[in-house]
Structure 1
């Protein structure tokens, strides 16, 4: 078994400030953190913790566009994820030295964060994806896509449907205003919707989003949506079963670091669907993903999140 995640890999610079600065305001940060980021790499970092020592022996792979293999950034990214996440199939742009970069201002007064991205690396093409997946072979049983370039990814999914017919496909629908995401959702087996995307489409709750999206994504088997302080929900299209999980936090819970909470929820669901599919019902799967996402918000970074398994194993 092998899970392949396809998405951008960033180098994050996170500045913590007392409040979000106004225009032309000079503000001193209280802390700075540099770390590897990106939706799929974040999910894989959590998954490698959850699957470590697992009897399911789920191999984890990342397909991402990176700068030159010899660049400092690429070497740092490889060392941060390997050996439990395999980067053999990443696409290295040898003409570039700078990685995709993300600059994040985190407000301590509100717990919110504002993000500015920079990325000059040319996106992956469908042809490059086909070459990479042909090398992966039939052991690739699950493909998870960050919904970045829908027109390219639709071509990738069509290829998988013809050549990897037993593989399951999930997509993350996150960024508002990005054309083609609805078509991408309709092509997948499992869909992860963000609150920001759902609200941009006029949905008022996770349940509203999932029930109405189920009428448009008839080929999908499972739809999931996170909704911040209102928890998360899932809708199984075959049975029409709807599950909602309230926010699962300790009594002394505080928002410490919300960056990557959605990626952590996705990792929790991907773990449940790949490693506990026959053991856990849908309510347990969503509850687990929701718990681990809550744990992420209450701490800096992603380390130690596998302790969520103590409540379920």
Structure 2
């Protein structure tokens, strides 16, 4: 099996502070942490952890398609070293005129446990033409393409290209950001859809189960629909066989939900 994840890769800088700073306040952080982020890279990170004890020749092949700054940049080198060899970055798109990666700057308040995130991404988005060339290079060995629902107008073109040229490939999409136009159209075209609680609430659903059962009538190609619901866990639904499952969220004793 070969899984190809298509989405943004971020470099996160996390500052831990005693409290969230007020406007024009000077505040000293107690620690700083840098790590790689982004929905698709995080998905591959989890898959990598789940298969880390499996020999390379027996584990699923994992590929990341993302836009990165110049191949020689420090950020690109660090991202490659963090993933390889279990996640291949051979088909990433490098923007040679850029040195800075997509970035998030996060202030983590110790007094509340909350995180405030400011993001920046100056890298031009991937085009359908760029993706088409990569898909042709990967060929039929890529059995599953997973898309972050970041740029729906581009993603729908990529899915249509796969349906025409690689009809046996499975396609999954993330329907996450509330109010982002075009996500419903992506769900209609996908074999597997992952919905967020925020998107579901924004569209009038009051529970994960309601979201999945009502969305099943609007996603004729889907064999599996999933929806996360924060502290209430996650639900999954196989509409073709009417099979519904709920998984409770993991929680330690006396835990407190922050966000």
Same fold (TM over 0.5): yes
Following superposition, the deviation at residue 249 of structure 1 comes to 2.9
Task: Tell me what 1:136 maps to.
Answer: 138
Secondary structure of the residue that 2:15 maps to in structure 1? strand
- Structure 2 Cα separation of the partners of residues 226 and 237 of structure 1: 17
- Structure 1 Cα separation of the partners of residues 78 and 13 of structure 2: 14
Q: 2:173 aligns with which of 158, 171, 182?
A: 171
- Structure 2 Cα separation of the partners of residues 116 and 89 of structure 1: 28
- Structure 1 Cα separation of the partners of residues 59 and 154 of structure 2: 30
- Structure 2: state its 5+ residue gaps: none
- Structure 2 Cα separation of the partners of residues 17 and 207 of structure 1: 38
- Structure 2 Cα separation of the partners of residues 169 and 204 of structure 1: 27
Secondary structure of the residue that 1:46 maps to in structure 2? helix
Q: Residues 236 and 109 of structure 1: is their aligned pair in 2 closer, same or farther, counting only changes over 3 Å?
A: farther
Task: Tell me what 1:247 maps to.
Answer: 249
Q: Residues 205 and 27 of structure 1: is their aligned pair in 2 closer, same or farther, counting only changes over 3 Å?
A: farther
- Structure 2 Cα separation of the partners of residues 98 and 139 of structure 1: 32
Task: Tell me what 1:237 maps to.
Answer: 239
Secondary structure of the residue that 1:216 maps to in structure 2? coil
- The 8 Å contact of residues 218 and 237 in structure 1, kept in 2 or not, is answered as no
Could you list the per-position Cα deviations for residues 222-272 of structure 1 after superposition, in whole angstroms to 9, with x for gaps in the alignment?
11111111111111111222211112234365779x8xxxxxxxxxxxxxx
Could you list the per-position Cα deviations for residues 123-181 of structure 1 after superposition, in whole angstroms to 9, with x for gaps in the alignment?
00000000001111111000000001001100100111111111111111111121101
Q: Residues 208 and 22 of structure 1: is their aligned pair in 2 closer, same or farther, counting only changes over 3 Å?
A: farther
Secondary structure of the residue that 2:222 maps to in structure 1? coil
Task: Tell me what 2:94 maps to.
Answer: 92
Secondary structure of the residue that 1:183 maps to in structure 2? helix
What RMSD, in angstroms, separates the aligned Cα atoms of the two structures? 1.9
Task: Tell me what 2:153 maps to.
Answer: 151
Secondary structure of the residue that 1:66 maps to in structure 2? strand
Matched, 1:120 2:125: no
- Structure 2 Cα separation of the partners of residues 234 and 88 of structure 1: 33
Which piece of structure 1 moves more, 159-168 or 117-126? 159-168
Q: Residues 28 and 58 of structure 1: is their aligned pair in 2 closer, same or farther, counting only changes over 3 Å?
A: same
Q: 1:222 aligns with which of 178, 201, 224?
A: 224
Q: What TM-score results when the alignment is normalised by the length of structure 2?
A: 0.93
Q: Which has the higher helix share?
A: 1
Matched, 1:62 2:64: yes
- The 8 Å contact of residues 231 and 257 in structure 2, kept in 1 or not, is answered as no
- Structure 1 Cα separation of the partners of residues 68 and 23 of structure 2: 33
Task: Tell me what 2:80 maps to.
Answer: 78
Task: Tell me what 1:194 maps to.
Answer: 196
Matched, 1:111 2:113: yes
Task: Tell me what 1:207 maps to.
Answer: 209
Following superposition, the deviation at residue 25 of structure 1 comes to 4.3
Q: What TM-score results when the alignment is normalised by the length of structure 1?
A: 0.77
- Structure 2 Cα separation of the partners of residues 238 and 64 of structure 1: 33
Number of equivalent positions: 257
- Structure 1: state its 5+ residue gaps: 259-313
